A and B are shown apart, each in its own frame.
Chain A
């Protein structure tokens, strides 16, 4: 379980870093394609969201505040499923999901499957917290 926790954390770190190291306008363009938010909120989301991914990912990866950070990861994966799902239902033209910034280009159909599986795996991690916390900072700090 702890290996899975590290993997889930790494997904968020890669995803957040990919967006943060690219000009935010590139991610803004991706958000605009989903046609879900008003213009002002799109800009805010493009600038703030990658930081949330990076911070949540790092906490999950290291196992710091494991329970709340895994809950945050569940919320994030759930939100991805909803956002990509509504775009697919509305037949919006998306060349790629924009999930990993410039680093990988994935089709939305692939992403919704990946996100759904990741959501279930993260929920499984939450339900087996003692095993999930192995080799985590929480595990170390709770013993000190």
Chain B
């Protein structure tokens, strides 16, 4: 066999193996659930976004604020659903902030807590224990503190978070924020802005 034939054969085998593996390991699509307490907007909107976030990740906070502004301008054209993807190895408060969010969602207060937690991220993120700050936020939005405390201690809330993170991993998510915009995967805020400009060129 000539060297060039071997080279060509090798490249074809490599490309075939990788393409085959990618087809076999192809991630499923992000599921939109219209009954979700962590969703807002028009369920029939032309732009549906599932965002996987870590509440301690600065880029996630930027993305949440950006989408909030866009949503205020186009409430009927957007449907946004939040999924948990706490990066516990990078952010020490990733899990507890997700737990508070999940417990707020169970009291129908997810977005109200989000309105306080995200803009104040730079204040609670450096704290050793951010729970007093989160408790104060919960009181401010009128959450039932008894229910909150029992929710924070429950395995069920943790399971929801872990299950969503596992689902994110099965979708191929490696970092946050990751968005599925009309099922197209978009990672990071720069790509988010570029993708949203295709739907809303005037912002």
Contacts and interface: CB of A to CB of B under 8 A. Distances in A.
Contacts of A28: 187-188, 191
Contacts of B185: 23, 25
B175 A29 contact: yes
B7 A64 contact: yes
A137 B10 CA distance: 12
A23 B10 contact: no
Interface string B1-15: 001001100110011
Contacts of B194: 39
A12 to B, nearest CB: 12
A22 B175 CA distance: 12
A55 B3 CA distance: 15
Interface string B161-173: 0000000000011
Contacts of B6: 64, 137, 141
Main secondary structure of the interface of A (DSSP, over half): helix
B14 to A, nearest CB: 6
A79 B200 CA distance: 37
A16 B179 CA distance: 24
A62 B9 CA distance: 14
Which bucket holds chain B's interface residue count? 20 to 34
Contacts of A101: 174
B196 interface: no
A99 interface: no
Contacts of A86: none
Interface in B148-203: 172-175, 178, 185-188, 190-191, 194
Interface residues of A, number: 24
Interface string B94-127: 0000000000000000000000000000000000
Contacts of B7: 64-65
A58 interface: yes
Interface in A7-47: 17, 20-23, 25-26, 28-29, 32, 39
Interface stretch (B18-26, B38-46, B139-147): B18-26
Contacts of A141: 3, 6
Interface of B: 3, 6-7, 10-11, 14-15, 18, 21-22, 25, 27, 90, 172-175, 178, 185-188, 190-191, 194
Listed from nearest, the 7 A-B pairs whose CB atoms lie closest are A29-B187, A29-B188, A23-B172, A25-B187, A26-B174, A102-B174, A25-B185
12 contacts: A20-B22, A21-B21, A22-B172, A25-B187, A25-B191, A26-B172, A26-B174, A26-B175, A26-B187, A55-B14, A64-B3, A137-B6
